[in-house]
Amino acid sequence: MEIRLEHLTKIFPGREKKNPKDVVAVSDFHFVIPDGKLVGLLGPSGCGKSTALNLISGLEVPTEGRIFFGEDDVTDLPPEHRGVGLVFQNYALYPHLSVRQNIRFPLENLKGEAKLTKEVMEEKVLEAAKVVQIEGLLDRKPSEMSGGQQQRVAIARALVKKPKVLLLDEPLSNLDARLRLQTREEIRRIQCETGITTVFVTHDQEEAMSISDSIVVMKEGRVQQVGAPQEVYDSPANLFVAKFLGNPQINVFEGEVVRERLRIGEDDVLAVNGAPDGRVFVGIRPEGFVWKEDGAFRCAKKSVEVMGRDSSILFGHTGAVTTQPRAIMDSEIASQKIGGEVRFDLRPKKVFLFHPETEERILFS
Amino acid sequence: MKPRRSGLRHSEWKAWLYLLPAILFLGAFLVYPLVDVFIYSFEEGFNFASQTYQGTGLYNYSYVLHDPYFIRALKNTFLIVIITVPLSTGLALLISLGLNKIKALKDLFQTVFFLPYVTNTLAVGLVFMILFKKTAYTDGMINVLLHVFGSPGVDFIEGPYWAKMFVICLYTIWVVMPFKILILTSALASVNPMYYKAARVDGTSPARIFFRITLPMISPMIFYLVITGFIGAFKAYSDEVALFGTNLNAAGMNTIVGYVYDMLYGDSGGYPSYASAAALILFMVILTITTINLLVSNKKVSI
């Protein structure tokens, strides 16, 4: 089911004494989530991504704008009539019910003609349990299971009614690092198998990049950029997106464009055809530095962080806005010399220019 | 690591030392009297003045169980327990649910509902007197109201048994409910709202949400209230005194604790053996009921 958000806005009225200002949680969301895709809503805490998810689920009513599932306008429908499955951050499994009862719970709510017999319910419960591979744990209580298993139960409960849309709120944040890797693959697999349009919320860029077909980067209730993960990484729309995606973070410098040449500090580092003259923020991905004897970018090497296959060279530069700029390269090259001046050439595709005030991207060729 | 013998003993000494004041006090004022009550209850023909007795046996129990005043007290106590515990818990649950739902003036209402708890029993008794007692000047406010509707009214304090039982039950419920409301409102507030959100997304009806989610989640607290409610109601005495005065036998509204008191210090008192026997019977009753309660709650409460 395709999800279409049209100028969606959610304003929480400020409570009078504590915070008299209205809070704009979601502002003018306007994009389409294609049918059968896995989409990640990505942003720092408090950027409104959970509110966006709640708007899609129907738990919150938008202040303005419409939501369409396919051709149907669902804006005024309560959550139970939208056909959504929702997985909560803390799973919200009912602690007093067994796994089987938890997964069956949504089915038992069906009334009238939709009412199911016990046998059909059992069948559906088993089917959902199989998708998430917990069919052996059906008689356990949630408290007797690990976080990852609880997560699967929550997904099974969301899937059992065959929703048109599956929504996951920070699905991996309560898992330890290893389980997180495993579970995100699992979510990807379940999504592929069922083909359900899935939206998930996360503040972890790596998580979003690794499994999404498409990511929506948000900041302070506004959409910054929508696109395939690689596309957004390779071509960030503004400084925020550039800084938010990528680990280690992008290095930011103050620079200046003079007659289509980019200067950082003393050095003339790159030809930037088509960029207007003036001060700019320069973002350089850590992998954008190429070590070279007579490279154009000079800096003072401070130390090397060895990470195995690659190493980071930490360096100092007078024009740096980033507190600790770093370049990533082969461990062999990085370890050659410690201290003193190093020189780099820059890969043009890994260098982005941003307007100093609006922080919007300035394109060059 | 091997525990060092001497070190262990040293810390044990310390622990006992810290426990000593409590043990001394509890021993002197709780354990010793308990044992003494037990012994008293088997000493037949105990003479208070000479502190002597004639023999040991079950006569005291037999006397108490055949005493019409005790039977009356037993009946009254059971009636009060059976009527007030379920009613007060149920009403408290309803009020707490209401309090949990409203937003405006929530704090005000919570305070209002909690007021009877901090009010003195006798002060509440006075209010009930104004409502129910017939005096030379007035028939009591409730009767005045009843007169308006053409009813002759009834003497709630010195009248028929059912009227007195009604007043004492109403009074008991009134007194015990605030604490229950307090406990239940906080229990309801502690249910994580995500469960309700999850239930909403699944289209769960309000009744089902209440019976399948809310009630199981707060069931430990409900059982706690029922158990302590039973115990409290079985020990009822001061409420009866507040309404009917100290001569409860004459009013026919005595309770077991009242009977124990009368046997010790009342006009017909001076019989610690009978009092002890009655107290132990009450103890057995409470023990039995509480055990049943715990057995049921262990089965039902699953969180």
pLDDT at position A337: 64
Cα–Cα distance between A217 and A205 in angstroms, integer?
A: 9
**CB nearest to B195's CB, from A78, A94, A108:** A94
Decide which of B303 and A189 is more confident: A189
Question: pLDDT tier at B56 (50, 70, 90 boundaries)?
Answer: confident
The greatest distance separating any two alpha carbons of chain B, rounded to the nearest whole angstrom, comes to 86
Torsion, Cα A268 A271 A277 A282, to 10 degrees, reads -70
How many CB atoms are located within 10 Å of the residue A245 CB? 23
Higher pLDDT, B156 or B197: B197
Establish if A339 touches chain B: CB-CB under 8 angstroms.
Answer: no
Q: Which amino acid is at A183?
A: T
Q: What is the mean pLDDT of chain B?
A: 86
The answer, yes or no, to whether residue A310 has pLDDT greater than 60, is yes
pLDDT-based confidence at residue B5 (cuts at 50, 70, 90): low
* Mean pLDDT to the nearest integer, A76-80: 89
Lookup: tokens for A320: 């740096």
In 3D, which of A215, A201, A288 has the Cα closest to residue A245? Answer: A215
Q: Is residue B125 part of a domain?
A: yes
d(CA B20, CA A39): 66
Does B202 sit within 8 Å of A109, measured CB to CB? yes
Q: Is residue B59 part of a domain?
A: no
* Boundaries of domain holding B192: 67-300
CATH at residue B293: 1.10.3720.10
Look up tokens 């007078």; give the residue.
A318
Å from A303 to nearest chain B CA? Answer: 44
Express each pLDDT in B197-210 by its tens digit.
999 888 888 899 99
* Cα–Cα distance for residue pair A241/A195, rounded to 1 Å: 29
Q: What is the CATH number of domain A3-241?
A: 3.40.50.300
- Where do the domains of chain A lie? 3-241, 248-362
Cα–Cα distance, A116 to B253 (Å, whole number): 56
A268 SS3 class: strand
**Chain centre distance of CA B45:** 32
C-alpha distance from A109 to closest chain B C-alpha (Å): 5
**Residue B76: partners with Cβ closer than 8 Å, 6 or more residues away:** B165, B252, B253, B254, B255
Say what the pLDDT of residue A18 is.
65
Q: What is the pLDDT of residue A243?
A: 92
Q: Residue A253: which of A241, A237, A269 has the closest Cα?
A: A269
Angle, helices B68-101/B161-189, rounded to nearest 10 degrees: 40
Q: Which residues of B touch A86 (CB under 8 A)?
A: 197-198, 201
Q: Check the CA dihedral B136-B139-B144-B148 and report its sign.
A: negative
- Interface residues of chain B, partner chain A, Cβ below 8 Å: 192, 194-195, 197-205, 208, 212-213, 216-217, 302-303
At B278-297, the pLDDT tens digits run: 999 999 999 999 999 888 88
Alpha-carbon distance A96 to nearest alpha carbon in chain B (angstroms): 5
Please tell me the distance from the alpha carbon of residue A90 to that of residue A101, in angstroms, as a whole number: 18
> What are the tokens at A135?
């069919």
pLDDT reading at B302 higher than 60: no
Q: Is the pLDDT of residue A19 over 70?
A: no
- Give the pLDDT mean for B126-147: 81
CA-CA distance, A273 to A260, in Å (whole number)? 5
CB contact under 8 A, B198 and A95: no
* Number of structural domains chain B divides into: 1
Instruction: Among A84, A90, A110, select the one facing B201 at the smallest CB separation.
Output: A84
CB-CB under 8 Å, A109 with B205:
yes
- Which pLDDT does position B278 carry in this prediction? 92
**pLDDT for A126-175, tens place per residue?**
999 988 888 889 999 999 998 888 988 999 999 998 898 999 998 888 88
Q: Which of A182-186, A265-269, A324-328 has the highest mean pLDDT?
A: A324-328
Segment B33-46 shows an average pLDDT of: 87
| Residue that the structure tokens 């009630």 belong to | B215
pLDDT at B93 over 60: yes
Task: Count residue pairs from A and B with Cβ separation < 8 A.
Answer: 58
Give the C-alpha separation, A143 to A326, whole Å: 44
pTM of the model: 0.78
Half-sphere exposure in the Cβ direction for A163 (13 Å, CA):
30
Residue B108 C-alpha, separation from nearest chain A C-alpha, in angstroms: 18
Contact B196, B255 (CB under 8 A): no
Which amino acid makes up residue A293? E
Degrees to nearest 5, angle at CA B55 with B50 and B59: 110
C-alpha–C-alpha distance, residues A296 and A270, integer Å:
8
Residue A89's pLDDT band (boundaries 50, 70, 90)?
confident
In terms of Cβ atoms closer than 10 Å to its own Cβ (0-12, 13-18, 19+), residue B128 is: buried
Instruction: pLDDT band for B253, please (50, 70, 90 cuts).
Output: confident
- pLDDT grade, residue A338 (50/70/90)? low
pLDDT over 90 (residue A233): yes
Q: Do B201 and A95 touch (CB under 8 A)?
A: no
Window A:70-89, CB contacts with B under 8 Å:
78-81, 84-86, 88-89
For the record, the structure tokens of A78 come out as: 């309560």
Residue B240 pLDDT > 60, yes or no?
A: yes
Residues making up chain B, counted from first to last:
303
Question: What is d(CA A211, CA A192) in angstroms, rounded to the nearest whole number?
Answer: 11
The predicted pLDDT at position B10 comes to 75
Name every chain B residue with its beta carbon within 8 A of the beta carbon of A80: 200-204
Give CA separation, B141 vs A219, B147, B153, in Å: 66, 10, 10
Report the residue of chain B nearest A56, measured CA to CA: B201
What's the whole-number mean pLDDT along residues A205-210? 88
Confidence (pLDDT) at B145:
82
